[in-house]
Structure 1
Amino acid sequence: MTKFERNLAIVIGINHYINGISRLGNAVNDAEKIAEVLKTQHDYEVWTYLNEQATLEKLQDLLTTQLPQHVTETDRVLFYFAGHGEAVDTDDIVTGYLIPQDASKGETLTYLSMKRVQTALEELPCQHFIGILDCCFAGTFRNSMRDIEAVPEGVIYQETFERFTKYSAWRIIASARSSEKAFDRGQTNSGYSPFAEALIEGLEGKADCYPVATSEKPAGDGIVTATELFEHVSYRIPALVGNDKQTPLSWTMKRDDGGNYIFFTPGRQYELKPAPPLDASNNPYRGLESFEENHKDWFFGREKIKKALQTFVETHPLTVVLGASGSGKSSLVKAGLIPQFRDKQPPWAIALLRPGTTPLQALKLELGKYNSASNLLLIIDQAEELITLCQDRDERQEFLTMLVAAIDTHPTTLRVVLTLRSDFEPQLQDLNLKDKWQASRFFISMMDRQELREAIEKPAEKQAMYFEPHKLVEDLINEVFNMPGALPLLSYALSELYLKYLDRQQNAKLASQRIERAITQEDYNTVGGVIRSVTERANKVCETLGKEYESIIPMVMLRMVATGSGELARRRVFLSELAYPADKAEKVKTVIAKFEEARLLIPNQDENGNSYVEPAMMP
């Protein structure tokens, strides 16, 4: 059970403005219904401020006197406002206001500054707070640490619930962006605003939809988080406002520390499973390896570009996915694009190849399987290998000629996608694809802070893990933000952080202790941060091997580097190439084995079953 002793709701609704401000039709209805649902279905003590009870003086007294005097650390507080909102632009600074019942039109001194409201609320001693604003320009209230995306919460385990309630949760849900109006009436004539109608539905249980229903069990788990409530509202608003534009927003406030505001589904006992055990086999991070199609459920932070790429590929017979080394091209295509085409109706066949040393043979094989009456998505991953590995220029030209012919022959049923390092673009664009190249370019943008945050936090959340302190996530982001090629570094560091957690978990078990499922500052310090983690890992392998391998290590590693476009690139090295005299052969095998064990070299096979190794990344 939770540590909270009281649920307190402040519910404000204003219809009847009196000093030149237009009246509203549904704000009081909304407030009264919200108050009823909170009181009767969620066991809230409700303080209501309706119409003339919501003057500037009374709202100021509420914020500066009543709440500070009565709210304690063991309270959960909900603040709801339905009424007019205003955004005033002065000297390029937009100031948001909630409009009290006795405000005078155009006189901002009679308005209630959103900034002032926020400051007063953040000074309350409670650890769990949610503010819900249903007014025009509600997004102006934002002064956040991070936005919340309207994405599924996923399975909530017992350990997840414990974390949600243990740590501070400070959330805002706003009915509209800072530039948008919030509509007082929707398409359903329900007597509530569109936002309030969706909110009421969510509070009455419709937001409890994860896990999804099965033949044996209805949807949900008996718990509605603030994230799930926001997702439900965001999903419902478009249908409720019709052709109008209203975009709900959600974000955390400064005092948020990784908790989540919780509602219990009315009439249902919550039922949560324990989280699965953690070990090396279910590491939520890929380390230095790219994501494959079967990792789609762990591929986070790329929703926008994933959708953009799908749309681009659907409308272009050829797509050249361009980005710097380490920008996530292969992962985006394999874990982002392929699953979307796999689920299409009618179905699409998927072919994935890497050029390697003999690209023509691989292309002939895939096109030979192709039935022109069906749809085919042909992925040519790491197309720079046409330059770095294929030394036969005639074969390279024939490969591209065959590719162009296939595209021209099947413009509607064939989609070809190349992933290519940007620095190799000049060497390919002037060949056979020249006429199609400019229209086919799709650039991989660097991840913004929110996308990086999702890539860090979401995989951990799926394992009921978190970061402690929560600012550790921001520290990780700061290390790699705007750094070209940083994704492999980040992914490797995250994988190492997880393994450090496993070490602590094992030590705790040996001491008959239990630790929280948290990646900690101690883990971070031990790994050495993002930038140093890969180098230190490689250095440790070299140190372990010792001086007798000092000449062998560079001999092996330099074979895995190809030059092209004036820069270094990864190169597959087939084991058949690593033929050395007997006195060196065993040491070469040892070097490869040790670097594979450290996940710095990746063993694999080509389409013909030939074994090779290649560097996991090029820093």
Structure 2
Amino acid sequence: MFDKIKGTNFLAVLGASGNGKSSVVRAGLLYQLRQTERWHILPVITPTSQPLTALATAIGMPAGQLTDFIEREPTERLVLVIDQFEEVFTLCKNDAEREQFFAMLLAAVARADHKFCLVVVMRADFLDKCSQHVALAKKIQEHQIIVTLMTPEELKEAIKAPTRQVGLKIQDTLVSEMLVDVKGALGHLPLLQYTLTELWKTCAAQRLLTFSAYQALGKIAGTLEKGANGVYQDLSPAAQKTAQRIFIELTQLGEGSPDTRRQLSQPDLVTALLFEPALVNQVLQKLVSANLVVTDKPKDEPAPVVNIAHDALTQHWGQLRGWLDGNRDAIKNQRDIEADAKRWQEKMSKKALLQGLYLNIAKDYAKTHT
């Protein structure tokens, strides 16, 4: 990957959900780039629902000035990594903004020659979405690298190396069993990471990760389920309702693709839930402490952002799957109404008001969910 970007100004890193794409780029490629003074690395961004705002945050000026920013930077080479690039399709509902985002990025790639390199990290199942944007699709087709599943030997090292670094021992039978259990599991790396973290919590005192502890946790398939259920069941009834709404709000419904995480600012999340803010923040802290939810405070952003810890939760936690599948139509209607309301607020025009069928859907939703 490092050799590839030496001779190009665009690279698409593709792969299945949970197979380590982001880790390869962040811990591999960017680490290598930092070893040389030739490269200046911009903050890694994700598109979010407002990709132009995310881009502006990375460069510290309006997104439309990206090319000017690149030309002014006193560096030989400049790299921008956009992780979870699929968010531009799953979270951004403004077609015009999406097109403008693509146009600005591709214009910068074309005009800045080899001074600027754009790296996009995306789930491979969103390639068909990109095919609808000819210039972007052509770039991806010509400059891509596929992150494949790790081999058994690589997985074995991924399990054992961290334990060596912190002075822990791990039973050989445990390693062998974990390799069998992760084989063929969708999004297996996040599941493996979560399981190893829980094992460490259980076994740290004895400095040995054991097969018996692994069995007690529920193995790869059950550790996440058992852990998430345990956290949820320990909450009060009011906090459980709040947690349910938090997870639903932080999930983006897939359209012909798996459900994914949905990042929101913490104030927006609190407002959307219509619960007592103190209760929402209290529940959030418990979910963060349990590694089910993560928060971050991006540079130059006015408020923290909140996200589900990893897509494995949206795909493997039965409780969340039940909430989503049982309320899928209502969630979709709610999101559509929110998007319509936002458009009206932006335009303040009668033409932006709901009419006909869409108005009736909104009225029906209000009757049954408020």
TM-score class, shorter-chain normalisation, is 0.7 to 0.9
Aligned to 1:397: 99
1:447-486 map, 5 Å:
447-468=150-171, 470-486=172-188
- Secondary structure in 1 aligned to 2:80? strand
Tell whether the 8 Å contact from 2:245 to 2:273 is kept in structure 1 after alignment.
Answer: no
Which structure is richer in relative contact order (CA contacts within 8 A, separation 6 or more)?
Answer: 2
1:155-166 map, 5 Å:
none
Is it true that 1:492 corresponds to 2:194 in the alignment?
yes
1:38-437 map, 5 Å:
309-344=1-36, 346-351=37-42, 352-364=44-56, 365-366=58-59, 367=66, 369-370=69-70, 371=73, 374-431=76-133, 432-437=135-140
**Moved segments of 4+, more than 4 Å:** 580-583
CA deviation string 1:448-480 (max 9, x = no partner): 100001100011111222212x12111111110
Offset of 1:588 from its aligned partner? 2.2
- Structure 1 stretches lacking a partner, 5+ long: 1-308, 506-514
TM-score (norm 1): 0.46
CA deviation string 1:415-459 (max 9, x = no partner): 211011122221123314133221122111001100001100011
Aligned to 1:554: 244
> In 2 relative to 1, CA 426–582 (structure 1 residues): closer, same or farther, beyond 3 Å?
closer
Aligned to 1:600: 292
Identity of counterpart residues, as a percentage? 29
Residue 471 of structure 1 aligns with an amino acid whose one-letter code is T
Aligned to 1:612: 305
Residue 342 of structure 1 aligns with an amino acid whose one-letter code is R
Offset of 1:582 from its aligned partner? 7.5
> In 2 relative to 1, CA 342–581 (structure 1 residues): closer, same or farther, beyond 3 Å?
closer
Residue 535 of structure 1 aligns with an amino acid whose one-letter code is E
Tell whether the 8 Å contact from 1:317 to 1:411 is kept in structure 2 after alignment.
Answer: yes
1:552 and 1:580 map into 2 onto residues whose CA distance is 11
- Which of 257, 261, 270 aligns to 1:570? It is 261
Tell whether the 8 Å contact from 1:560 to 1:573 is kept in structure 2 after alignment.
Answer: yes
> In 2 relative to 1, CA 398–581 (structure 1 residues): closer, same or farther, beyond 3 Å?
closer
Tell whether the 8 Å contact from 2:264 to 2:306 is kept in structure 1 after alignment.
Answer: yes
TM-score (norm 2): 0.75
Is it true that 1:527 corresponds to 2:217 in the alignment?
yes
1:445 and 1:554 map into 2 onto residues whose CA distance is 34
CA deviation string 1:362-413 (max 9, x = no partner): 3345245432762011101111121122222211111111111111112322
- Structure 2 stretches lacking a partner, 5+ long: 60-65, 313-370
Offset of 1:580 from its aligned partner? 6.2
- Which of 520, 526, 541 aligns to 2:231? It is 541
> In 2 relative to 1, CA 561–583 (structure 1 residues): closer, same or farther, beyond 3 Å?
closer
Residue 424 of structure 1 aligns with an amino acid whose one-letter code is F
Tell whether the 8 Å contact from 2:266 to 2:305 is kept in structure 1 after alignment.
Answer: yes
CA deviation string 1:322-378 (max 9, x = no partner): 11211111111101100111113x520001222123222333452454327620111
Residue 545 of structure 1 aligns with an amino acid whose one-letter code is L
Aligned to 1:11: none
- Secondary structure in 2 aligned to 1:354? coil
- Secondary structure in 2 aligned to 1:412? helix
> In 2 relative to 1, CA 394–533 (structure 1 residues): closer, same or farther, beyond 3 Å?
same
Tell whether the 8 Å contact from 2:293 to 2:306 is kept in structure 1 after alignment.
Answer: yes
Offset of 1:574 from its aligned partner? 1.4
1:540 and 1:466 map into 2 onto residues whose CA distance is 27
Residue 445 of structure 1 aligns with an amino acid whose one-letter code is T
> In 2 relative to 1, CA 559–464 (structure 1 residues): closer, same or farther, beyond 3 Å?
same
Offset of 1:314 from its aligned partner? 2.3
1:436 and 1:373 map into 2 onto residues whose CA distance is 24
Offset of 1:321 from its aligned partner? 0.9
The 10-residue stretch of structure 1 (350-359 or 450-459) with the greater mean CA deviation from structure 2: 350-359
> In 2 relative to 1, CA 545–401 (structure 1 residues): closer, same or farther, beyond 3 Å?
same
Aligned to 1:579: 271
* Paired residues, number: 297
Asked which structure has the greater CA Rg, the reply is 1
Tell whether the 8 Å contact from 1:323 to 1:422 is kept in structure 2 after alignment.
Answer: yes
2:264 and 2:9 map into 1 onto residues whose CA distance is 33
CA deviation string 1:527-565 (max 9, x = no partner): 221111111111001110033334333222111111344
> In 2 relative to 1, CA 605–373 (structure 1 residues): closer, same or farther, beyond 3 Å?
closer
Offset of 1:501 from its aligned partner? 1.2
Which structure's residues are more often helix, by fraction? 2
- Secondary structure in 1 aligned to 2:311? coil
Tell whether the 8 Å contact from 2:21 to 2:121 is kept in structure 1 after alignment.
Answer: yes
Tell whether the 8 Å contact from 1:372 to 1:413 is kept in structure 2 after alignment.
Answer: no
Aligned to 2:339: none
2:85 and 2:244 map into 1 onto residues whose CA distance is 26
> In 2 relative to 1, CA 373–599 (structure 1 residues): closer, same or farther, beyond 3 Å?
closer
CA deviation string 1:108-150 (max 9, x = no partner): xxxxxxxxxxxxxxxxxxxxxxxxxxxxxxxxxxxxxxxxxxx
